[in-house]
Structure 1
Amino acid sequence: MLTRLLLASSLAVAALPAAATTQDDIVRADVLPGWRDGGRHFAALRLQLAPEWKTYWRSPGEVGIPPEFDWSGSENLGSVRLHWPAPHVFTLNGMRTIGYRGVVVLPFEIEPLDPARPIRLQARVDLGVCRDICVPAALEFAADLPAEGTRDAAIAAALDSRPESGREAGLGRISCRVEPISDGLRLTAELDLPATGSDEVVVVESGSPSIWASEAVASRSGARLTAVSDMVGPGGAPFALDRAALTVTVLGDRRAVEIRGCPAP
């Protein structure tokens, strides 16, 4: 993350004109306060990006900057779960990144420490925004969430745009074969999955932020989709792979599918 931020900062300094565009000209954020559903509260962060600018998904590709959230200033916040809408795949100069453009609604689901007390958000997100250059942005946001609230159409639409589960997409089988390489592991995922569209992109996530995963090389033969990704732990040291924590996401031009867990063949 630090390397990516330093790279983005150096690109920004080199490429921005003397009258530099400000962060507010590129991206703005506000909170959609949402509604309470039983013991959970659904709210969202809305990002409004300037035309032609983009920001990144949780797994942004080789040169992207993943968003990082800090919720520590909030009150009565037990846990937060982000629900990511299906992202888009961008290709520029042979490099592939994954993210969003325009208006982006990122829903989050909150478990309060005490359901009887109000929730106060005081948070920050660090993210990268890119056009011809990349600029690291830091956005602070705050809101008092209503005890009940009303269902918000923008949040509901973002929740509906999440990738399908394997079951919803008609997944027949998934397995992951693992073999050692010089500095880590090579994972080969095989999925019996109906096509999601042309130019399918497969993203493999280890479930651990300390384990780097390469851009997957995907190929399809009929209903069988195969993706190969190399994984490297801190310092190239051996590591144990938690198969239950693996996430395999397939992004096609018609739909997206997200599969949690990948057993051995």
Structure 2
Amino acid sequence: MMHFRPLMSALAVALTSLAPAMAPASDMTTGLSKVDLRPGWRMADGTHMAALHIVLEPGWKTYWRAPGDAGIPPQFDWSGSQNISGISTEWPTPHVFYEQGMRSVGYQTEVIIPLHMRAAEAGTDIKLSGHMQIGICKDVCIPAELTFAATLPPSQTQPDPTIAAALTDRPYTAREGQVSGITCEIEPAQDGGLVLRTKIDLPSTGDPEHVVVEAGNPQVWVAEPDSMRDGGSLYASTRLVHVNGGSFVLDRSQLRFTVIGTSRAVDIQGCAR
């Protein structure tokens, strides 16, 4: 049986030059082998691409942005940063695991998470200061905390091949994945919440196919969908419930569907009627 235990320690990763920083082994939370903040490069459009590189000890795993029923969702706090007008994470394609009969979505061995940021004042240093909470699991799940900082100068323009490789290892867009249509039916559930039934028209991504549904609202819990393929269409049905048990409005444009197959994954945003 999986057990959860309190955070045992926090890992601080500091970066003040262009050399990637690695925390000493003695500072590591159980389950983590190495954490690097890769400084990346300033791109032609003035945005900056860096990355967080997490290496896990054998047998451990960590979670994707939508971790599933058995996972712990990652959380970022960039409030201590300077000269950043916006920052987004570019998640690589995850894998699906089953733990005690529950589905989780994440990574084994290691994960490189590209960080795409825009400077408030173009052509000047970005002072990145981040705090990340993640779950790492083996026989137990530990909510680990990572703290990291970096000065990212505009003079560094040489792309980092490690980050570039992580950027290519992402789900296809709906167009790239040849999605020709998606429709959703929404109705009240008998025991509360909403039932969402979805039909996605796309070629097979490789059997078995898993559908991950995100509501676009962190206060809405989404159950693991039941899914089946019929020719060129993939059908999925799930239930959505507000975490406080209250009513809510589901914005179709904020719904996000990720189909994860054995050969590829496809990211679909928004759903027509």
Establish whether residue 137 from structure 1 lines up as the match of residue 183 from structure 2. Answer: no
Q: Deviations over 1:199-243 (max 9, x none)?
A: 111011011111111111111111110011111124322211111
Q: CA deviation at 1:104?
A: 0.9
Q: Give 2:62's aligned residue.
A: 55
Q: Give 1:180's aligned residue.
A: 188
Q: State the AA in 1 paired with 2:118.
A: E
Q: SS where residue 175 of structure 2 aligns?
A: helix
Establish whether residue 254 from structure 1 lines up as the match of residue 255 from structure 2. Answer: no
Establish whether residue 167 from structure 1 lines up as the match of residue 175 from structure 2. Answer: yes
Q: State the AA in 2 paired with 1:189.
A: T
Q: Give 1:206's aligned residue.
A: 215
Q: State the AA in 1 paired with 2:119.
A: P
Give the Cα separation in 2 of the matches to 1:148 and 1:222. 52
Establish whether residue 64 from structure 1 lines up as the match of residue 58 from structure 2. Answer: no
Alignment of 1:10-159 (within 5 A): 23-27=28-32, 28-37=34-43, 38-149=45-156, 150-159=158-167
Q: Which runs of 4+ in 1 moved over 3 A?
A: 21-25
Q: CA deviation at 1:116?
A: 2.9
What runs of 5+ residues in structure 2 fail to find an aligned partner?
9-25
What runs of 5+ residues in structure 1 fail to find an aligned partner?
1-6, 13-20
Q: CA deviation at 1:142?
A: 1.0
Q: State the AA in 2 paired with 1:29.
A: V
Structure 1 counterpart of 2:4, from 1, 5, 8:
8
Q: State the AA in 1 paired with 2:176.
A: E
CA 1:70–1:172 in structure 2 vs 1: closer, same or farther (change >3 Å)? same
Structure 2 counterpart of 1:191, from 197, 200, 205:
200
Q: CA deviation at 1:133?
A: 1.3
TM-score, normalising length: structure 2: 0.87
TM-score, normalising length: structure 1: 0.90
Shifted more, 63-72 versus 91-100: the winner is: 91-100
Q: CA deviation at 1:25?
A: 4.5
Q: SS where residue 5 of structure 2 aligns?
A: helix
Q: CA deviation at 1:10?
A: 6.0
Give the Cα separation in 1 of the matches to 2:108 and 2:27. 18
Give the Cα separation in 2 of the matches to 1:23 and 1:177. 47
Q: Assess if the C-alpha contact under 8 Å between 1:29 and 1:141 holds in 2.
A: no
CA 1:126–1:40 in structure 2 vs 1: closer, same or farther (change >3 Å)? same
Establish whether residue 263 from structure 1 lines up as the match of residue 272 from structure 2. Answer: yes
Q: CA deviation at 1:179?
A: 0.6
Count of residues paired in the alignment: 250
CA RMSD of aligned residues (A): 1.7
Q: CA deviation at 1:78?
A: 1.2
Q: SS where residue 157 of structure 1 aligns?
A: helix
Q: What's the % identity of the aligned pairs?
A: 44
Q: Assess if the C-alpha contact under 8 Å between 1:11 and 1:134 holds in 2.
A: no
Q: SS where residue 98 of structure 1 aligns?
A: strand
